Chains A and B, each alone.
Chain A
């Protein structure tokens, strides 16, 4: 245990201010959040509350206005763009509301891409990609393009792409936001299964039912974050 339970995501006093014209919009107001290995966390909040903004910062896609952020012990805010790219490639896996698959590539080509950016041999990468897709029940859909797949299938391809490189953390931004209730159940089931196998998951949602499937819920409102007990 011990070392395992060190926070893999450790963000402190994160402030994000957007400047639009002369107005300043403080979207995140001293947000601190720790995620430990093997956690399955939901961040719940209404639309416009700053959930995506937080996830982009945790995902090293965006920088906070101020604060501190350590990912797997690395001081993210001191890293250069190339190093951030490498972190996104090796330590993070993203799942988006709109699936964000590359439309011209087949399912397996989408999934294999992060491994290719990592410099893994194509043959081996294809094997791993196929493994993950089969694991998610898409063994028969390897060579389908996104527009030939249902929403639930597309999101499972996206999940396969997120986990193919064995990331430290899976970040999912409203992964069920574009899905019907059956596909929503599917996808949540997949996350629970992945978590059981030891994956760390941060899932953002505005849906209380979905959030309840996680092991722990954070609430976000008006740029401030509250944990399970502390909702005002």
Chain B
């Protein structure tokens, strides 16, 4: 019998038992929807990670104390200068960070400040929206002036940032003149938000805000992606030389590439976990299919006898019942994909990033077909192996 006619026969049988076919395939519906959503969530997570990292130069390396809190042997401005002597390193900036009360007019908030060498601004895309940037003069003369991140300026002025330029704010009760506002930079992938911070010259931060507690992070830029590893080696070497007591061991050296890899890895782990759930659902639903197919074969034993009497061969009986299982599970797969699609907005509402994709549909349908073939095979094989006379005499 040709495939088209076999399929017709199968569809007649499946469609005349719609309720049973539907109930049989419920598990496949859920399983396929899960597979589809797993892929969507995986893709969503990936998209989120790469968006976070897209603004971050893959050549960037952060050097920071390995332990939080009190540090015996902190990094220094001098270390950063030594780093820049390496051929593999383009820039190295010491950066100080702190938290404190930031005050403007009657408004006060607890916010972050970042002390940077002025050159930091160019290599980190901090551009001016209003006023001026931090300048070498400010660093040299330790001018108590600040440039605000766009979001901070907005918050302090209650949505009217232009008024603040030229005014004074206080950070931890020390007075600073606001000389400019940066453009919004968004998520930079760095652990702190530039848009919410107040920026001051490095020397100013050292002198007025942190004093002896100054414990900088050094942000390094390798000359290129391929020199990242060499740069890390150089940094390690230098730290071992200059911090003889604890050596490079006491610092953490993080490069963007491996941070990206770690983030992607955890997104992938999440996907795999969900995929495992989906596979379990499909296995359970497959066992359901197998059960129903056994019942079907039993019920239709007489029919199988008739088919054999009029000349159906084993493989044709096998094909017919296998195709029934696959049609049922594939129908479940299609319904599952639709269900998955409908669930995507729901996930968005739950703030889970989910990106539906053709790949997810294909994978879901593939799984549903595999389920049908795998679990439909044994009952179909049993049907095919029935002896014609036993099948015919079965009551």
Contact = CB atoms under 8 A, between A and B. Distances in A.
Contacts of A122: 2, 4-5
A114 B388 contact: no
A57 to B, nearest CB: 9
B313 interface: yes
Nearest to B385: A81
Nearest to B306: A100
B23 interface: no
B316 interface: yes
Q: How large is the interface on B (under 10, 10 to 19, 20 to 34, 35 or more residues)?
A: 20 to 34
Interface string B381-392: 000000111001
B245 to A, nearest CB: 85
A117 B316 contact: yes
A123 to B, nearest CB: 11
B310 A94 contact: yes
Contact of A62 (B13, B306, B316, B389): B389
B328 to A, nearest CB: 16
Interface residues of A, number: 27
A118 interface: yes
A152 interface: no
Given A104-B16, A117-B1, A89 B388 contact: no
Contact of B313 (A85, A94, A101, A109): A85
A141 B242 CA distance: 101
Given A61-B392, A117-B1, A119-B1, A104 B309 contact: no
B308 interface: yes
Contacts of A90: 311
B312 A117 contact: yes
Nearest to A106: B12
Interface string B1-13: 1101100010011
A88 B309 contact: yes
B135 interface: no
B73 interface: no
Interface string A92-116: 0010000011111100010001101
B298 to A, nearest CB: 16
B392 A116 contact: no
Interface string A156-185: 000001000000000000000000000000
5 contacts: A81-B314, A85-B308, A86-B311, A117-B312, A122-B4
Interface of B: 1-2, 4-5, 9, 12-13, 16, 302-303, 305-314, 316, 387-389, 392
